[in-house]
Amino acid sequence: MSQLPSSGPAADSVIGPDLASLAGLLADRTRATMCLAMLDGRAWTPTELARLAGVAPSTATGHLHQLVAGGLLTEERRGRHRYLRLAGPDTAEMIESLASHAPLRATPVRSLADAHRRRALAHARTCYDHLAGTVAVAITEAMTQRALLDWDFGPSLTEAGRAWLRELGVDDHPAHGSRRAHVRTCLDWTERRPHLAGAVGAALFRHALDHGWLTRKGTTRVITLTESGRSALRERLGLTLQPPDARPASVSPEESAPCRGTGGAAR
């Protein structure tokens, strides 16, 4: 019978998570700013990220190499062009969770256009691959009131909720082999109440985009609720939502701020 070595690196070392290494990747403000921006779910070029972070392209490249090597970002090559995005939903949710413990930094409203942009962001925006903002919170609360979501043991779909999704044409089954939470919530950055996230939140968001209920505004995080979307929400959830300009301007943090993960009930 073979014996374990009594000395040497294999005997003296214990394999464990290098949390300090991961924390070090996000301890730099430039790298953290880039990761927060990529919570919009799209692929960014190094030039775009350098401009966003206010650093030279060569400086941005060095930071991006570290984030890719550390497993937080993935790199895509399209011809001569290079694109970067977060490594996946798990990475995004980890960054959101860390951000939930970070202090808030308020930014002043400097113009009327800035005020309109903040209203639009507070009303509806992307939070990686699901919807955030007033619209998302209203949907989550309406689903709770109609007993489509249950909060006794954390957020979960009820049988009525699964039937409701099937009626919409949304698959309510967890993806085979996926470690991602089927149903979870994020504490909304601007509303301070939970909105639906996880695989179900992402599936609902895709469904709304595919059916023209929601549309993206350019390459920003802003999402527009269309007239057909308003009609669908009235018909299916009894919701009547006003356009963002009908709401008071929110005092919101900067545009790249994520939502915060939570398991609390919607009240």
51 and 138 belong to one structural domain: no
122 and 170 belong to one structural domain: yes
174 and 245 belong to one structural domain: yes
- According to the model, what pLDDT value does residue 69 have? 95
For residue 48, what is the domain's CATH number?
A: 1.10.10.10
- Helical pair 19-27 and 29-37, crossing angle rounded to 10 deg: 90
41 and 133 belong to one structural domain: no
66 and 116 belong to one structural domain: no
Which pair of tokens denotes residue 56?
Answer: 């030279």
| Number of C-beta neighbours around residue 75 at 10 A | 14
Q: Is residue 125 one of the residues assigned to a domain?
A: yes
Q: Domain range spanning residue 234?
A: 112-262
78 and 116 belong to one structural domain: no
Whole-model pTM: value is 0.74
Q: Is residue 15 one of the residues assigned to a domain?
A: no
* Separation CA 139–CA 9 (nearest Å): 55
Containing 108, the helix (H) or strand (E) segment is: none
67: phi then psi, degrees, rounded to nearest 5:
-70, -35
Residue type, 12: D
117 and 242 belong to one structural domain: yes
Q: How far is CA 114 from CA 11, 110, 119, 254, in A?
A: 60, 6, 9, 11
Query: Is the CB of residue 43 less than 8 Å from the CB of residue 262?
Result: no
| pLDDT < 50 positions in the chain | 2, 248-257, 263-267
- According to the model, what pLDDT value does residue 5 have? 52
240 and 149 belong to one structural domain: yes
Q: pLDDT tens across 41-93, in order? A: 889 999 999 999 999 999 999 999 999 999 999 999 988 889 999 998 778 87
Sign of CA dihedral 107, 41, 27, 29: negative
Query: Is the CB of residue 238 less than 8 Å from the CB of residue 144?
Result: no
Q: Is residue 151 one of the residues assigned to a domain?
A: yes
- According to the model, what pLDDT value does residue 234 have? 95
Which residue matches tokens 């775009």? Answer: 48
Compute the half-sphere exposure of residue 97: CA atoms within 13 Å on the CB side of its CA.
12
144 and 70 belong to one structural domain: no
Q: Is residue 14 one of the residues assigned to a domain?
A: no
Q: Is residue 95 one of the residues assigned to a domain?
A: no
127 and 207 belong to one structural domain: yes
Q: Is residue 258 one of the residues assigned to a domain?
A: yes
What letter would DSSP give residue 7?
A: S
83 and 116 belong to one structural domain: no
- According to the model, what pLDDT value does residue 163 have? 95
38 and 72 belong to one structural domain: yes
Q: Is residue 57 one of the residues assigned to a domain?
A: yes
Domain count, the chain: 2
* Separation CA 246–CA 152 (nearest Å): 35
